[in-house]
Amino acid sequence: MRVSFNMIYNQSVSGMNSRLSEMMRLNEQSASQKKINRPSDNPSGMCRSLDLRSTLSSMDQYLENIDTAEAWLSQADDELNLASDVLTRLEEIAEQASTGTYSDEQRQMIAAEARELMEELMGIANSEYAGDSIFAGSRTDTNAYTMVMSSTVRDADGSSLEVAEVTGASDYTVYVEFTDSGEVGTDALGYRYSTDGGDTWQEGTLAAGDTTLDCGGVQAELVSGSTVTATGEAGEGDGTVLWLRPAAEYLGNVQDEAAVVHYGASPVSARAEGSFSSGVLVRVDSGGTLPGPFEYSYSTNGGSSWSTGHTTSDATFDIPGGHVELTPDGGSTVADGDQFLVQPQNAAIVVETGPASSVQINNVGKDIFGGLYTPAGGDTAIAAEPLEENLFEAVGELVGYLETNNQDGAADCLDKLTRAHERLTVAAGDVGGKETRLVFSRNSVETVQSTAKANISHLEDADITQLTSDLAKAETAYQAVLRSSAQIMNLSLLNYI
């Protein structure tokens, strides 16, 4: 084959460019210390590297979540331990006050301490982390509790006084005795009350047909139809007695409790009971008068499809997860087409701490401290169950008994405080368990993170020793190409001939 000068020149230039390109590639790797500087360098390696970097980014976010969870739970742990110390002191006070060795003056002194300790518990329950309430469920922008007033009733034989609500404020327990027997809302009832533990008294009368008991700056709304018995002579205390004392009302939300929204003009109220994972819509297909019978349908997808053919004869509509119960509210007629939307509450704040793990970082104060709360769909605050473990109610009752020098009442509170303390300890243990979980979650995430970084380094990082050797070889090859090309380029036609 005849070799032309054009072929010689093209081959020489191609060889120089090829060697120069290799040198530039190795120089770029030397400057960046990376084997892969663009997808074309190693398409499959680049794809794997991007997947690993995505994993690494996820691990970084998990570690941030763990940091946040640890801060929330550490704050809760510290506050619950402090609450335990306060409660221990309150138990000591209750035990001291229940003995006969304390004088009236000494009980007044420890009563003042008990009220201050209740305020301290209120501050603990309203603790925040970075401006967010840690015991208010998912309502982190509000205090978990507020100080209100509630009541403790001691009925005499044959009486059954019920208090719907206490409004107003007082720095001292209001002690009420009835001087007449009868039925609230029907009979005129005389009463007297004291705001200084029984040293002085003021007289009043609850008019026939009236249910609001006025005690100066505090009013008690009594339930119509409940009955009272008159006390005997002052100091005997053998009739219906009422303590209007401090209490704490929970302002946060409650896990799994559901509110009901009524769409329609029927004069009825509705409440839901059960555990609902999502909203449920109930439609009355055949109306009537409470308690029924009614025909109804329900939908779990916002009304896109309905489960029909259901009936009830006791105003209780069974639905997935629980039931909706209707009660009169100025009337008892339910019209065709009325609908009731069950909206479940979610009080939990959950953060992801790993690819398949998560932890709840907040707490529902009602389940730890108790107190009063208004159920979803309700309009009146009630005491949180179980009553025998309700911390704030036990402390409020203790303050009321101490401020009225009631030794037997203080003794009754001791058992409630002990059981409330046990409930608090269980809650603290739950928080501690979550903190331990986070330690293992952090170790697991850091292990995955370390492995991902090692794999990325293996794919991307250049071997400096090998790179130096390859670069020297490339330079030698390039110089050889230059020398040989220079000799070829110097050939003339005479050399060829």
- Tell me, what's the pLDDT at 428? 95
Number of H helices, E strands in the chain: 8, 26
Which range (124-133, 224-233, 451-460) has the least confidence?
451-460
Flag whether pLDDT at 236 surpasses 60. no
Give yes or no for a contact between 73 and 435, defined as CB atoms under 8 angstroms apart.
yes
Enumerate the β-bridge partners of residue 299. 281
Residue with the two structure tokens 């190409």: 481
With b for 16 or more beta-carbon neighbours within 10 A and e for fewer, the 205-229 pattern comes to: ebeeeebebebeebebbbeeebbbb
- Tell me, what's the pLDDT at 212? 93
User: Mean pLDDT for the chain?
Assistant: 85
pLDDT tens track for 415-447:
999 999 999 999 999 999 999 999 999 999 888
Give the percent of the chain with pLDDT over 70: 81
Question: For 264, how many CA atoms within 13 A lie in the half-sphere containing its CB?
Answer: 21
Give yes or no for a contact between 447 and 100, defined as CB atoms under 8 angstroms apart.
no
Enumerate the β-bridge partners of residue 382. 373
Enumerate the β-bridge partners of residue 176. 193, 242
The predicted model gives 358-372 an average pLDDT of 93
- Tell me, what's the pLDDT at 242? 93
The predicted model gives 395-402 an average pLDDT of 94
Q: Which two tokens mark 341?
A: 């939307």
Q: Is the dihedral of CA 419, 423, 426, 432 positive or negative?
A: negative
Rounded to an integer, what distance in angstroms lies between the CA atom of residue 154 and that of residue 496? 129
Q: What distance lies between CA 161 and its chain's CA centroid?
A: 36
Flag whether pLDDT at 35 surpasses 70. no
Rounded to an integer, what distance in angstroms lies between the CA atom of residue 200 and that of residue 297? 61
In terms of pLDDT, which residue wins out, 314 or 32? Answer: 314
Flag whether pLDDT at 376 surpasses 80. no
Flag whether pLDDT at 32 surpasses 90. no
- Tell me, what's the pLDDT at 471? 67
In terms of pLDDT, which residue wins out, 358 or 465? Answer: 358
- Tell me, what's the pLDDT at 13? 67
Flag whether pLDDT at 235 surpasses 50. no
Flag whether pLDDT at 208 surpasses 70. yes
Which range (8-22, 264-278, 326-340) has the least confidence?
8-22
In terms of pLDDT, which residue wins out, 128 or 278? Answer: 128
Confidence band of 458 (pLDDT split at 50, 70, 90): low
Rounded to an integer, what distance in angstroms lies between the CA atom of residue 39 and that of residue 44? 8
Give the percent of the chain with pLDDT over 90: 51
The predicted model gives 85-114 an average pLDDT of 86
- Tell me, what's the pLDDT at 478? 65
Highest mean pLDDT among 81-85, 370-374, 375-379: 81-85
Confidence band of 489 (pLDDT split at 50, 70, 90): low
SS3 content of the chain, % helix, strand, coil (to 5): 45, 25, 30
- Tell me, what's the pLDDT at 234? 44
- Cα–Cα separations (whole angstroms), residue 18 to 86, 222, 425, 475: 82, 99, 76, 12
Flag whether pLDDT at 50 surpasses 90. no
Flag whether pLDDT at 104 surpasses 80. no
Flag whether pLDDT at 336 surpasses 60. yes
- Tell me, what's the pLDDT at 449? 83
End-to-end CA gap in the chain: 16
> pTM score > 0.85 for this model?
no
The DSSP H or E segment spanning 383 is strand 382-383
Domain ranges of the chain: 260-344
How big is the CA angle at 75 (ends 74 and 76), to the nearest 5 degrees? 90
Rounded to an integer, what distance in angstroms lies between the CA atom of residue 221 and that of residue 182? 16
Which residue from 276, 275, 296 is spatially nearest to 286, judged by alpha carbons?
296
In terms of pLDDT, which residue wins out, 52 or 8? Answer: 52
Give yes or no for a contact between 324 and 272, defined as CB atoms under 8 angstroms apart.
yes
Q: What distance lies between CA 325 and its chain's CA centroid?
A: 27
Confidence band of 136 (pLDDT split at 50, 70, 90): very high
Give yes or no for a contact between 31 and 455, defined as CB atoms under 8 angstroms apart.
no
Q: Which two tokens mark 462?
A: 């250049």
Q: What is the dihedral of CA 324, 329, 333, 334, to 10 degrees?
A: -30
Sequence-ordered alpha helix ranges (H) in 250-406 = 365-369, 391-403
Q: What distance lies between CA 249 and its chain's CA centroid?
A: 17
- Cis preceding-peptide flag for 39 (omega within 30 of 0): no
Highest mean pLDDT among 20-24, 54-58, 261-265, 464-468: 261-265
Highest mean pLDDT among 24-28, 214-218, 393-397: 393-397
Q: Is the dihedral of CA 418, 423, 428, 432 positive or negative?
A: positive
